[in-house]
Copies of this chain bind each other. A is one copy, B any other.
């Protein structure tokens, strides 16, 4: 591509004329597709999940906090959902928003990225801008994406452009949206960065350019390491203060009155979601290559993954105090989602706790306003329908476990009727029958 062609390509993006494709229409890709469509871009969404495609075609939503009305609107504006990757040939921009989970040995599983690259390879063409949004270890764009595109015969930065711009979605956060969260942008070359920045400047209030794709990759990882470590720290301290008969929630609340140098993080029954429990280990894995250890990440991982077991132990102690065992007890688990007020089950510790309770011989019931039954996940397939939360169902349980403190729960009703409560969220601090876990 000549310099003037590169300029043409930039002006296509500059002038809203770029046809944008989003690959992976989940928690990240769908809101992004909506944003581009809202700004007048012609958007094509790709997913390998036919069910998602059919729902979108029918103007239906599959993510609670994304309104069907929004999907109706973007479809009216020309948004198209497909699983046919040949349509990649017709777009100017390709944004990849696929999952980057961990393998069973905590190693990065980049198979979704690999498969995406494989699927689009026959259809990519000169002048396209490809951007990865998935969280991944520093070096992924340079070491994996760029060589892949160059093997296909392109010269990155000259006749094909590659950027990295990590997603910062926070499902359930009502204060910030895709538009108002500043967006880190980076590129393999100056031209790549410039195009990536021009593109996102259309849909977010602020883009933050950084000097390399590695820096952008590390930025996202740091954000999640910071959370994983701080949550690990309070989980460890919770166990210590519990033995000292000190309420960690009261301590955190008091410390939060310091107007500088302290940020509150809260303990819980374990980490959940697609980011915090997973992303940090991408750096751990990569650091091994250069002979380095990431000991804070590993310690946080160890403590956070031990939390469901700690909760079970606290439940056992609570039942023991009234001469009962877990085996044979009716246990009502409140909350399936990994955090409050969302319908997101990914990596939720509630499932692990339910699994352990079954193993120990408990009768398990659950209640979550966002789930009528427990969906089948990669790890677990329970066949359990939600119990209605009322005085009778609460009273009949030997123990109520507050696993996720959805605001929709009637806490007064719970407190008035429960025989015994184990609270993993510090929500019911001042109730006599509450054991904190």
Chain A positions near chain B (C-beta within 8 angstroms): 138-139, 168, 170, 173, 175-176, 180-182, 184, 206, 208, 210-212, 214-216, 218-219, 222-223, 225-227, 229-230, 232-233, 236-237, 239-241, 243-247, 250-252, 254-255, 257-263, 283, 286-287, 290, 292, 294-296, 299, 303
- How distant is the Cα of A66 from the Cα of B207 in the complex, in angstroms? 43
Chain B residues whose C-beta falls within 8 Å of the C-beta of A236 in the assembled complex: 294-296
Chain B residues whose C-beta falls within 8 Å of the C-beta of A182 in the assembled complex: 257-259
Chain B residues whose C-beta falls within 8 Å of the C-beta of A219 in the assembled complex: 251, 254-255
A28 CB to nearest chain B CB (Å): 15
A216 touching B173, Cβ below 8 Å:
no
A233 touching B229, Cβ below 8 Å:
yes
- How distant is the Cα of A233 from the Cα of B232 in the complex, in angstroms? 12
A293 CB to nearest chain B CB (Å): 8
CB-contact partner of A255 in B206, B223, B294, under 8 A: B223
**Residue with the highest number of chain B CB atoms closer than 10 Å, among A170, A236, A299:** A236
CB-contact partner of A223 in B138, B168, B240, B258, under 8 A: B258
Q: For the A-B complex with A182-B259, A236-B296, A240-B287 known, give 5 more contacts whose Cβ atoms are closer than 8 Å.
A: A170-B260, A210-B250, A219-B255, A243-B290, A296-B299
Q: Which residue of B lies closest to A222 (CB)?
A: B255
- How distant is the Cα of A1 from the Cα of B175 in the complex, in angstroms? 54
Chain B residues whose C-beta falls within 8 Å of the C-beta of A223 in the assembled complex: 255, 258, 261-262
CB-contact partner of A181 in B222, B225, B250, B258, under 8 A: B258
CB-contact partner of A222 in B170, B184, B214, B251, under 8 A: B251
**Residue with the highest number of chain B CB atoms closer than 10 Å, among A240, A247, A299:** A240
